[in-house]
Structure 1
């Protein structure tokens, strides 16, 4: 399927196609993700839109306000309403490697966005700071939780940027938690609907310095989402045959 994008003067191209029961519990609807490619032989697409082609009735079109790489569709029931929601997954690209993770629900004869990386950032904020004695604290006011990570095994050249010789934190040095880098649909064996697992990097002295990862499990109900469980995980470290630890910053 092709269509002319009059605004850009370029042809729409199909990016991905899936089938699911979007409009009704027992319907079979074709879902098409399409957009334009400004560069030849590139995975980057823009001017995105979702088209729903039902077995009977008119085509439903929804413009998506994102552009990115490696875009694909995922159709499953997130809200436990017996119908599939439409998830668009992809990457914004760049050194931050931020994820496109947006979910649309068909309701009242239209598609409504019920989750996105931007909506998550506004609803749940994680703050990070260095503590004395080589630790990092991550807090969330919304979740009323804090997480502590020990970074004492990091390379001395990195620790010297952050800490004084007595182990106290130098002024003006702050870690931070990025926006969503990955988002994975997950299904527990005892549940009929899907949840979402998101990952955010905890970043230290540079973008290449990943201290750890914040993982959040998202549940959906009544067209809204809730972070029902979060945890801070550390990055694995390499070690040689003599069991001496060396930090892996990748």
Structure 2
């Protein structure tokens, strides 16, 4: 039976009273068990230490030691869960003052998992040694990475943070930070990108897929003849006519890569979004959008669609 907080306090108080009255090993054990059930791990460990001091502890020394080991494991997990560590770090002149700054991503590690929580950007000013913490809306995921480079041409290096979401579509969270007019600003984030770049994907007769890119008002036609016969026969009849209407979709941002296309020392961003057909694993290709800083925001410089090839 699950006890509420009031009941637990009453039970713990009862066992304390019995211990003061009799100092019997049985009540020390009962107290430790109740504290453990209540999540009072440190208190339970102290109680077990007292219980083990008896010549004949209850229920046995072996069982108490096993209980102690389990609680120590729980305590270790709790400590690891709440301990902030540096996941990755870079050095670069972030604010353009000519001094190298230290840039970190810190987070809390999930025990027995590559999942990170509370991912935070931390910048240590190389001149003043002062720290600045930057919180991100999407601050949990896998494989958080840092890249430093000039995205705006303002002499200071910007900061690109990418985090894998772990979702089935291979999507990412991505942010770019840069000092502009003496302030660290978010100049790119994946949520805004995903909300801005909208598409629809529709299968058409004669082994084609039509993709409309609404933000850029462009249309792409994907040729499906590279797909194998089994795939096509599930969708089309022998005349190449659709057996039923099929809609696909474009996934959220799945890759964001800094590329200096103009070789001028200023990085553009190349964004990848995976095109899905009948289901997520039915990948039809990628929408590739090159984004360039225009002095106020990243804007699309060009957009392409890439499809997969087939062996010849």
TM range (shorter): 0.7 to 0.9
Aligned 8 A contact 1:158 1:205 in 2 = no
Q: CA deviation at 1:165?
A: 4.1
Greater fraction of residues in helix? 2
Q: CA deviation at 1:126?
A: 2.3
Aligned 8 A contact 2:144 2:162 in 1 = yes
Matched, 1:206 2:285: no
Write the distance in 2 (CA, Å) between the matches of 1:160 and 1:62. Answer: 52
Specify the alignment match of 2:222 in structure 1.
149
Aligned equivalent of 2:199, options 126, 140, 143? 126
Aligned equivalent of 1:44, options 115, 118, 129? 115
Write the distance in 1 (CA, Å) between the matches of 2:92 and 2:221. Answer: 43
Write the distance in 1 (CA, Å) between the matches of 2:282 and 2:311. Answer: 15
Aligned equivalent of 1:59, options 131, 153, 164? 131
Write the distance in 2 (CA, Å) between the matches of 1:136 and 1:157. Answer: 17
Structure 2, unaligned runs of 5 or more: 1-79
Aligned 8 A contact 1:47 1:65 in 2 = no
Aligned equivalent of 1:216, options 276, 283, 289? 289
- Secondary structure, aligned partner of 2:192: helix
Q: CA deviation at 1:129?
A: 1.1
Aligned 8 A contact 1:80 1:221 in 2 = no
Write the distance in 2 (CA, Å) between the matches of 1:86 and 1:92. Answer: 19
Aligned 8 A contact 1:62 1:111 in 2 = no
Matched, 1:15 2:87: yes
Aligned equivalent of 2:213, options 130, 140, 161? 140
- Secondary structure, aligned partner of 2:230: helix
Aligned equivalent of 1:73, options 146, 153, 161? 146
User: For 1:159-181, what per-residue CA distance to the aligned partner results, in whole angstroms no more than 9, with x for missing partners?
Assistant: 23433443233444111111111
Change (3 A) 1:175 1:19: same
Greater fraction of residues in strand? 1
Match runs of 1:104-183 below 5 Å: 104-107=177-180, 110-183=183-256
- Secondary structure, aligned partner of 2:154: coil
Rg bigger for which structure? 2
Q: CA RMSD in A?
A: 2.0
Specify the alignment match of 1:24 in structure 2.
96
User: For 1:121-172, what per-residue CA distance to the aligned partner results, in whole angstroms no more than 9, with x for missing partners?
Assistant: 1122122111211101111122121111110232233223433443233444
TM-score by length of 2: 0.69
TM-score by length of 1: 0.85
Q: CA deviation at 1:79?
A: 1.0
**Which structure ranks higher in relative contact order (CA pairs < 8 Å, sequence separation ≥ 6)?**
1
Structure 1, unaligned runs of 5 or more: 1-7, 240-250
How many residues align? The count is 231
